[in-house]
Amino acid sequence: MAALRDGDFAALQILLKAPSKDAVRQLCQECFSSPPAALGPLAQRACPGLAVSAQEAEQLVSALHNLTRHVVYRGFTRAEDILCLFPENFHQNLKNLLTKIILENTSAWRNEAQASQISLPRLVDMDWRVDIKTSSDSIARMAVPTCLLQLKIQEDAALCGNNPVVSALTVELSKETLDTMLEGLGRIRDQLSAVANK
């Protein structure tokens, strides 16, 4: 979890060398989304665009990562809360620009954080089909309706990094088992309504 450190704001002022406001915006987004381990390579990519030394680029990228993550962690939605974070002698225009960029992105960033937080594997897709079994090697004629369900489940994003593993679970359900499932799901729905009404 990123905490703001003393040297961070000094490092942020390196942004004054950025070629444009869009470049700053782009860098903010990349720094937020990058996990700590990928900050090094990100700094190397940012270096030429900023015309700074490798070390300065690293400090900047790290500072920007900490700042953006800190704001999302605290859940700030007002400009005042973000402006307060900066020290008194910080460059005014840069402070305002950064605050503006952060406010624009904070909602999307929060969603991104929620989507990548630790969790059990997540359901990413579901497909189904209803078949009728008409015959088999043991029975010549029958008409048994049956459901085939395929769930695509993605393993914990945090564990897989950039290559999430998606596994497919294919399950057959009969009318009876489908009813069991529906009953369970109905109870979840009832609970959700009860919670929503509190």
Partner 1 sequence: AADKIRLIPQDFFAELCEQIIQHLNHKIPGINTAELCQRIQTSGVDINIGDLAKIANTLSFLFSTAARNNLSTEELVTTLGSGVSTLPKHAVQVIRHVWNEQGKAIAVSEEEGNMATVGQFVDMKWKLGVAMSSDTCRSLKYPYVTVTLTVADPSGQITDKSFEMTIPQFKNFFRQFKEMASVLETV
Q: Where on the chain is the footprint of partner 1 (CB under 8 A)?
A: 1, 69, 72-75, 110, 113-114, 116-123, 126, 128, 130, 132-133, 136, 138-139, 142, 144-145, 147-149, 151, 153, 169-173, 175, 177-182, 184-189, 191-192, 195
In this complex, which beta carbon is closest to partner 1, that of residue 50 or of residue 72?
72
What residues have CB less than 8 Å from 178, skipping those under 6 apart? 147
Tally of CB atoms within 10 A around 161:
10
State the nearest-atom distance from the C-beta of 108 to partner 1, in Å. 13
In this complex, which beta carbon is closest to partner 1, that of residue 37 or of residue 132?
132
State the nearest-atom distance from the C-beta of 115 to partner 1, in Å. 9
State the nearest-atom distance from the C-beta of 185 to partner 1, in Å. 5
Residue 36, Cα to own-chain centre: how many angstroms?
14
State the nearest-atom distance from the C-beta of 194 to partner 1, in Å. 10
Own/partner pairs for 171-178, CB < 8 Å, 24+ apart?
172/146, 172/147, 172/148, 173/146, 173/147, 173/148, 173/149, 174/144, 174/146, 174/147, 175/145, 178/147
In this complex, which beta carbon is closest to partner 1, that of residue 93 or of residue 170?
170
Tally the C-alpha atoms within 13 A of residue 133's C-alpha that lie toward its C-beta.
16
Tally of CB atoms within 10 A around 72:
22
State the nearest-atom distance from the C-beta of 140 to partner 1, in Å. 11
In this complex, which beta carbon is closest to partner 1, that of residue 94 or of residue 181?
181
